[in-house]
Amino acid sequence: MQQRRTPAFRARCRKQIVRRVAMVSVHTSPLAQPGTGDAGGMNVYVLNTARELARSGVEVEVFTRATSSEEPPTVEAAPGVLVHHLPAGPFEGLSKNDLPTQLCAFTGGLLRAEAHNRPGHYDLIHAHYWLSGQAAWVAADRWGVPLVQTFHTLAKVKNAQLAEGDSPEPIGRVVGEEQITTEADLLIANTAAEAEELHRYYGADERRVEVIHPGVDLGVFRPGDRYAARQALGLPHNALVVAFVGRIQPAKAPDVLLRGLARLRVHNPALAERIVPVFVGGPSNTDLFWLPKLAGELGLGDRVQWRTPRSGEALAQVYRAADAVAVPSYNESFGLVALEAQATGTPVIAAKVGGLTTAVSDGRSGILVDSHTADDWAAALGRLMGDGALRERLAAGARTHAALFSWQATAEGLSGAYRRALLARSQAITLNR
């Protein structure tokens, strides 16, 4: 798309009016609590971009699968943002890997919902994750509107960077992503690294890929009193606190943090004794006790603090209470946890993978670790936790780096991308007449 953005092209794009967008998020609702089950950064992304688009005058309707009989059919999540819960299969008992069997039912519900409106009710459809793309592909074709796709994670990338003991993504997902990559009018990548992965692994047409960074709520995730936060959380004031926030699953690699801390006990026992690890999250399609069991085996069972998932100000308090936040994932399309932590002024230790190389500025806002070995993570933890001056310098850089990202900027980028998709569709129709 870049080479087409002449002044005349931009002027035509500005004339494309986006009034209403249908967002599709099949496997997880934007209203769900991130940090457990299948809820995570994608939920945060969908909800915040929808809110910001609505504030700019674009109505957003989000379609997601109903997971409880008690959920109302439609919920107003924010002014100008509706969330529709579509029945598709049993409310409970289905994992994300079971949902392809329910895509026909979900797609039928999506088409019926639109049928109650006048033709042209939606200007375009924006799908999140590959399951949503499969349903949205049919709807976009039926409605005659552009299909915009954000994958958030990619099967081929995950399989190339698989955590030990984790199951590879099924071939059905790989094929599904290949189909959507070919059929979508526009692909939204979170980072340049993801754009390159779309091209390298899926052969995506570079002209149909746009890079738009996710954001962070700088009003919620802001610096505050560390000791007040620790008091609210019941954490010792004089400890060195390192926090992990997210789903407790192999792909997020919480075990890498534990193994690094255990190895640090060997290399620097005095420093390791001062560190209190705090894990905030819930299990995601895994054994509930696998991580606490590992902590016990490593001799850390009496040191680790376990906390339930939270969001908003309660999550910001966790970040403020920490001296560092660890994001050791095997892959992240971006890494919102890293950005949220930095916005509160807390430096991050993260794996040097995927979008984390954008979310974290190595040496300025945090430390990127180029492996998942216990020795390398022990070295990084020892370097940061043992050097107060380094933490202060990185904390200042963390705030500066996070300020470069906002959900308003993300929504502005999406609005522009939507207009370009509409223009490209209208031009194609004109040429085919």
Nearest residue to 240 via CA among 226, 253, 219: 226
Rounded-to-integer distance, Cα 418 and Cα 49, Å? 13
* Angle between helical axes of 41-55 and 336-343 (0-180°, round to 10): 70
Which residue's entry shows tokens 């060195």? 240
Q: Where are the beta strands (DSSP E) in 322-429?
A: 324-327, 348-351, 366-369
Phi, psi of 359, rounded to the nearest 5 degrees: -65, -30
Annotated binding site for Mg(2+): 319-320, 322, 346
- The H-or-E segment that residue 34 falls in is none
- The Cα–Cα gap between 154 and 332 comes to 10
Q: Dihedrals φ, ψ of 24, to 5°? A: -120, 125
Residue pair 82/61 in contact by the 8 Å Cβ criterion: yes
- CB contact at 8 A, 347 and 395: yes
Q: Tell which residue, 343, 299, 347, has the closest CA to residue 327.
A: 347
Is beta strand 81-86 parallel, antiparallel or unpaired with respect to 74-78? Answer: antiparallel
Q: Cα dihedral angle (408, 414, 415, 420), rounded to 10 degrees? A: 150
- Binding residues for 1D-myo-inositol 3-phosphate, by number, are 27, 38-43, 96, 129, 153, 173
Residue keyed to tokens 């890997």: 97
The CA R_g of the chain, rounded to the nearest whole Å, is 22
* Residues 326, 347, 224, 239, CA torsion sign: positive
Q: Which two tokens stand for residue 82?
A: 């509706």
Which amino acids are annotated as binding site, given as ranges?
A: 27, 33-34, 38-43, 96, 129, 153, 173, 247, 252, 310, 319-320, 322, 332, 340, 346
Which residue do the tokens 């995570």 mark?
Answer: 40
Tally of CB atoms within 10 A around 138? 16
Binding region for UDP-N-acetyl-alpha-D-glucosamine: 33-34, 41, 247, 252, 310, 332, 340
Q: What own/partner pairs with CB < 8 Å and gap ≥ 24 does 263-270 have? A: 263/374, 263/375, 263/377, 263/378, 264/378, 264/381, 264/382, 265/299, 266/378, 267/378, 267/382, 268/382, 268/386
Asked if residues 319 and 224 have their Cβ atoms less than 8 Å apart, the reply is no
The C-alpha angle with vertex 291 and arms to 286 and 297, in degrees rounded to 5, equals 135
